[in-house]
Amino acid sequence: MSIPWRIFACSLLGLAVLGSTQGASAIELLTSGGFEVPPVAAGPEVPSWTLLEYVTANPSMLVNSAALLGGVADNPIDPLNIDTNHRGLWFRPFVGTTEGATPVGPVDAILSQTVAAAPGQTYTFTGDALFEANYLGGMEEPGFRTEFEMAFLDSGGAVIGSPMIRDLTLELINGLGYSGTNGNPEVAPIVGVAPAGAASVRVRAQGLSMTRNNVNTGQQSAFVDNFSLTTSDAPTMELLMNPNLNILPPVPPTAEEILSEYFDFVENPDTSTDIIRGAGFANNPDTGGSNGIWISPYLPLAAGGSGTVSQTVAGTPGTAYTFSAGARWEPAFVGDESLTDENKTVIELAFLDSEGGLIDSVVLDLRDDGKTAAANSWTTHSVTGTAPTGTTDVRVSGIISNFAAAESGQQSAFWDDFSLMVAATGLPGDYNGDNVVDAADYTVWRDGGSPDSSPAGYTLWANNYGATSAPGLATTIPEPAAGLLVVLALLAASTRRTN
């Protein structure tokens, strides 16, 4: 019976090892290879101020009833020295009052700023305003109010007493320009003493229950600008931030600016015409996501140039790498014929030394891989290469060279879904080779000693933290079923020895 028992025990042990051993998996080395762009938090529409815009009867229904605007909205401090970058706030009662052809009612626009206040101090709030000729807020339209307001707040933000209000309808004349010009009177200042318990003072410019003029439809806006809040103790010290509304909101970064943290975008010559840029319609819908890379070889000054999208990661000599990329050519894209070098499109897997010099590379011309423009479809193309001696970095690139344009038609190219894979050996995340994924492996990754010192290498470590394997086996902790088989195998062997 010794032979059957041994066969039984070895079979169970073999099943246990097979059940617990993970086959050679692959590790993704690129970051944001799908060219996805995380959402960017929007800054305030009017820096240092809060702007609320909504349907009067439904504050949760947001509209666009006010906006920063130059030109007519700006009331220049020095009329002889006008800065075209300066702004004022534009009240737009004709925007948001309907949804399609359906009336949704009047709208509000409230611009406010709050600063610290001291009880007993006297505060003065001023501002400029302009009503166009057909602005209903200057015609005593029922419910339609255009106001400046100052209120004192306690430490919890509650208004103490009643806000002080300047009704601009009673101050301005429609169609005469900004207050204080062309015979239009100055808006009288709001002056108040901060009461006991005041922790802050809030100032507002607001259009309330604004409605469009459906009789005389032209020139029915209002504008406000040049605010000031001072105290009697320091009348020349401005308490408001951005009082003249001339600090513009930050311009959100473009997709390529965000992706430039990981990718290099190179246009040759550098025409600053965005030949290469991120775009939602450049995304491959078959692989998910919402962004890809759009290349426009037909743009002015692009002729004869080239465009490259690349990413570089740490490399290891002797390691096999596979680079794949998705591509689409529109029907009129020039360069899908093998006899021309116009718009030559290639992917490249390059191995670099410590100085960034090229040791070796693998290049694939997409035309040689069956790519055509007529298909106007997404295709995936791959190259594989083994890093030679001296490799410290691996660079992957999508390259289009010798830009040329067709006479007409859709002729763009698109990249998406870049991927650089390397076969995983041993225990994933075990960067010091001690058969356990622990804090010591993080130290190796942090110090740049792991095969992949990019964020992807950290993710690999984090996802496998706590995993262990037997020396010499690419295994993790056995699953319960596999562990049971091991126990049974050992029990069988023990029983045989006892017998």
pLDDT of residue 469: 66
CB of 149 within 8 A of CB of 135?
no
For residues 137-158, average pLDDT: 93
Residues 6+ apart with CB under 8 A from 71: 84
**Ramachandran region, residue 272 (left: φ > 0; alpha: ψ -120 to 50; beta: rest):** left
pLDDT of residue 410: 92
Residues 6+ apart with CB under 8 A from 284: 292, 326, 328, 378, 414, 416, 417
CA–CA distance, 151 with 133 (Å, rounded to integer) = 30
Q: What is the 3 state secondary structure string of 22-44? A: CCCCEEECCCCCCCCCCCCCCCC
Which residue did the predictor score with more confidence, 22 or 362? 362
Q: Which contiguous run of DSSP H or E holds residue 201?
A: strand 200-210
3-state DSSP call for residue 185?
coil
pLDDT of residue 271: 61
pLDDT of residue 102: 57
pTM of the model: 0.58
pLDDT of residue 98: 58
CA–CA distance, 71 with 135 (Å, rounded to integer) = 18
Which of the 8 DSSP states describes residue 280? G
For 76-86, write each residue's pLDDT tens digit: 877 767 787 89
- Computed over every residue of the chain, the mean pLDDT equals 84
On the CB side of 298, CA atoms within 13 Å amount to 15
DSSP notation for 336-383: -STT--TTEEEEEEEEE-TTS-EEEEEEEEGGGGT--STT---EEEEE
For 368-424, write each residue's pLDDT tens digit: 998 988 889 999 999 999 999 999 999 999 999 998 888 889 999 999 999 999 876
What is the number of residues in the chain? Answer: 499
The tokens describing 133, both together, are 């000729």
Which residue did the predictor score with more confidence, 499 or 218? 218
Domains of the chain: 2-21+427-491 (no CATH), 50-231 (2.60.120.200), 262-423 (2.60.120.260)
Highest mean pLDDT among 335-339, 426-430, 456-460: 456-460
Work out the pLDDT band at 485, boundaries 50, 70, 90: very low
User: Which of the residue ranges 265-269, 338-342, 432-436 would you say has the lowest mean pLDDT?
Assistant: 338-342
**Chain-centroid distance, C-alpha 334:** 32
Q: Which contiguous run of DSSP H or E holds residue 66?
A: strand 66-69
Which residue did the predictor score with more confidence, 384 or 460? 384
pLDDT of residue 339: 62
CA–CA distance, 390 with 258 (Å, rounded to integer) = 32
